[in-house]
Chain A
Amino acid sequence: MAMCAYFMCFLLLLIGLYCVVIKKNLIKIVIGLAIIEYSINLFIVLIGYRWGGHAPLLSDGMKDWVYVDPLPQALVLTAIVIGLATLMLIIALCVKLYEKYGTLDITEIRKLRG
């Protein structure tokens, strides 16, 4: 069960990579990047999760319980915020590119080469 979740998470990463590498549309590339980010966020949450674990609040009489690891949850929040910032910037770039070139097709946006 646990392995299956990790496997699906890795599959999501590969889908994102496929999307970034193969797709020709700027927006689809951005979606691919977002999928990669989400798969990694999912992975962060997964490694902190314990099956049948409880929220990590320590009080009397709960010494023997299994707790989930709270640190990855803090990390994933940071990662999501950073992801939001990069996503905003890249979408802004897409909007500007569309204004300049009138297309979102990456094969037609090629002034630079070499």
Chain B
Amino acid sequence: MNIAPLFIAVPLFTAFLTPVLSRVREGIADVLSNAATATLLALSLAALYGVHTKGVIIYTFGGWSPPFGINLVVDGLSALLLVTISLISVMITIFSTKYMDRFTDKPKYYTLLMLMVAGMCGVVLTGDMFNMYVFIEMAAVSSYALVAFGCESDELEAAFKYMVLGSLASAFILFGIIILYSFTGSLNMAQISSIIAEKGASPPVQLCFALFLMGFGLKAALVPFHAWLPDAHPSAPAPISAMLSGVLIKAIGVYALSRVVFNVFGMNMLFSEILMILGTLSMIVGVLLAIGQWDFKRLLAYHSVSQMGYVVLGLGIGTPLSILGGLFHLFNHASFKSLLFLNSGAVEYGSGTRDLHEMGGLKEKMPVTSATSLIASASIAGIPPFNGFWSKLIIIVAAVQAGHMAYALVAIVASILTLASFMKVQRYGFHGKLKEGLAAVKEAPAAMCLSMIALAAICTAAGLAFPIVLRYLIDPAVSVLLNGLGYSGLILGG
């Protein structure tokens, strides 16, 4: 039994069953989606184990072998992303059971969420370019709808902005895929990469790289393309913000870009230089814009831009150590940024505000939220022994080793500014005197606390036991990217 198609089938069937079955009973949507994400988590751990013991798992649709049919590929990199996606979505669905009571029509919310998860799993599994476009659109369209879920004026405005830029990005991605098809005559990633290896990086390939950089860069919110993110991510309901910032921009942005650049085109000096510059720009511009924000969620959204810069810088440097750091930071960012967005959701649930001016002294009233947000802030700011420290350290050391002193310096400065802005969050949000009107604030319900505590535990555990995480989760993914064009031999030969 091949487990690869289940990652798409399970959330997809849940998405269709949810609205049907919740006509029978309202509460069934909660149970169904929690069961689906828990199944996904178990499956992704099984996939990780399978990659360790048996190597790459390949599934072919309808039994057509790779160059002719569509295939799904579970390798180290896909397994890392699958674990990240399913881990965060488990936490999100647990959190949503209580948080989403504020909104009407929970079943529709779960349907969209499950469609988004199915799309993301599809993107990280597929070995076919056009199939990847279809899954990207699936994840993206449901995320547009989820951003607008509250249907208030600013949410609609953010969703419109997000959707115009997102559709533009998708159009460029499709354009790139078609040019690649007319150049190589194939849509299978493995075959395209072997044909490009023969023909060399000629102008059509560079045009495709430019189109993909624009398309995936928009989806990943790298700096010249980041304008939509600070509007869209805060406007969504808190669990969705966590999902968007935590995994969506990674799965359909950074993952897709790195898969195409490393395994299909083959990394070269030009691509590496461009990725490094974009990464560094995102890092510094994101954090500079974040530091002046007073809206809790907007501040977090700007930090997503900045932290994605670290990931892209790590991937762009292209040495084994830097890729290790970049992918480790990708996993870490998913854990602590989701946690921070869930914290902001819990604060909003309790006190009804997300303006840092109006918060203050919430430490006594919301001990769990306050403690977990302290752990997440320490992780994102890079304070040892939490996970963010190690991944940033690895990226900076790798940059110095590769001789990119300037980039390493910018990374350090951005890290210090991140620390400053999270000191501000802790100082104004949770410490200090209790503001008037907040006396009646209560701690968030148990389900919400549970997922926050679990994420905080992941942040701490991944920090304390980082050699184990690196060895079992990140190393297989690094070897996939380092293998580069060897990817095609692995798929077509196997």
Contact = CB atoms under 8 A, between A and B. Distances in A.
Contact of A109 (B134, B157, B167, B168): B157
Contacts of A71: 181, 187
A47 B178 contact: yes
B167 A86 contact: yes
A78 B138 CA distance: 12
A26 B181 contact: no
Interface residues of B, number: 35
B466 interface: no
Interface string B221-257: 0000000001100010000000000000000000000
B298 A114 contact: yes
Given A75-B130, A89-B144, A94-B160, A100 B175 contact: no
B158 interface: yes
Contact of A72 (B141, B157, B160, B181): B181
Contacts, number: 87
Interface in B147-170: 148, 151-154, 156-161, 163-164, 167-168, 170
B141 A97 contact: no
A101 B154 CA distance: 10
B160 A90 contact: yes
B182 interface: yes
Contacts of A5: none
Interface string A7-27: 000000100000010000010
Nearest to A34: B167
A44 B187 CA distance: 13
A97 B157 CA distance: 7
A67 B298 CA distance: 55
B171 A40 contact: yes
Given A20-B164, A114-B293, A36 B156 contact: no
A88 B182 CA distance: 30
A82 B182 contact: no
Contacts of B151: 96
B153 A82 contact: no
Given A78-B134, A94-B160, A89 B145 contact: yes
Interface in A83-106: 85-86, 89-90, 93-94, 96-97, 100-101
Contact of A43 (B137, B144, B152, B175): B175
Contacts of B156: 93, 96-97, 100
B334 interface: no
A36 B231 contact: no
Nearest to A76: B178
Contacts of A78: 130, 134
A97 B160 contact: yes
A25 to B, nearest CB: 12
Contacts of B235: 112
A63 interface: no
Interface in A45-68: 47
Contacts of B141: 82, 85-86, 89
Q: Which 8 A-B pairs have the closest CB atoms?
A: A100-B153, A47-B182, A111-B154, A112-B231, A82-B137, A36-B171, A97-B156, A93-B160
Interface of A: 13, 20, 26, 29, 33, 36-37, 40, 43-44, 47, 71-72, 75, 78-79, 82, 85-86, 89-90, 93-94, 96-97, 100-101, 109-112, 114
21 contacts: A33-B164, A33-B168, A33-B171, A36-B167, A40-B174, A71-B187, A75-B130, A85-B137, A86-B141, A86-B167, A89-B141, A90-B144, A93-B144, A93-B159, A94-B160, A97-B153, A100-B156, A110-B157, A111-B154, A111-B157, A114-B289
Given A89-B141, A96-B151, 7 more contacts: A20-B164, A43-B175, A89-B144, A90-B167, A109-B160, A111-B157, A114-B230
